[in-house]
Chains A and B, each alone.
Chain A
Amino acid sequence: MSKEEDNDDRIFKRDLLASLPNLRAFAVSLTGRHDKADDLVQDTIMKAWANQKSFTAGTNMRAWLFTILRNEFYSQMRKRGREVQDSDGLFSERFSVHPEQYGRLDLQDFRAALDKLPDDQREAIVLVGAAGFAYEEAAEICGCAVGTIKSRVSRARTRLQELLGVSGEVDYGPDAGDAAITSRAFGG
């Protein structure tokens, strides 16, 4: 193999490794459980490796990997007949089995709320609000318009506020007006 190829391989592997913790957190956000998330990450690594040639060096590897993982997630979900999508039954099952696996107690409520969002809203708010992507990148990963991502993020925020009981009126008393303005600003 040529020196240049060898070097490309090393860079590819290094960048893949560097992206893994973020990619895995995205997988956990999508699936709601660690075991499924890790299977999904494994499938993604295999796919990415097999398609190394289709990755253009110097472009955004993280976005490329997230796109592969997301496509894999939805195609597996379709195959399983929406099993993953089933909300409350599955949700209570997963959280009752190994609660200790889900980390800090104060984050469990948040996780539960996140899990109740529709898939498209969940992925939008996670990509933009946690994974570190710009709206434009998130739109590319999800294969939709930037405006669609913006409105999904906005709806996700509103829904999470409702689910978690975070509202200007209740928690912030005199500042409720500010909260209302904020939520209107994100309402578009």
Chain B
Amino acid sequence: MSPNASISRKLREFYDAVQEEGIPDRFLDLLERLDHAERNAKSVDAK
């Protein structure tokens, strides 16, 4: 393997390892809260 290929592979391994950790719950909670806040605001607007 050429040095460049070896560097590229390690970079992807490192990056993929983080991606494979998935999405932490705090972000799912945050999106839920944002979604709720927006829905409430819109239903108030509609009245």
Contacts and interface: CB of A to CB of B under 8 A. Distances in A.
Given A21-B23, A24-B18, A28-B18, A107 B4 contact: no
Interface string A154-182: 00010011001011100110000011001
B2 A114 contact: no
A188 B26 CA distance: 43
B26 to A, nearest CB: 7
Contacts of A1: 39, 42-43, 46
A20 B27 contact: yes
A129 B15 CA distance: 10
Interface residues of B, number: 32
Contact of B8 (A21, A129, A164): A129
Interface stretch (A38-46, A71-79, A83-91): A38-46
Contact of B17 (A13, A104, A161): A104
Interface in A115-142: 125-126, 129-131
B38 A9 contact: yes
A38 B17 contact: no
Contact of A42 (B13, B26, B35, B38): B26
A69 B41 CA distance: 26
Contact of B30 (A45, A114, A131): A45
B1 to A, nearest CB: 9
Interface residue tally on A, bucketed by range: 35 or more
Contacts of A9: 35, 38
Contacts of A183: 3-4
A128 to B, nearest CB: 10
B35 to A, nearest CB: 7
A161 B7 contact: yes
A55 interface: no
Given A28-B18, A110-B14, 13 more contacts: A1-B39, A1-B42, A21-B20, A24-B24, A25-B19, A29-B14, A38-B27, A42-B27, A110-B10, A110-B11, A129-B12, A157-B7, A179-B2
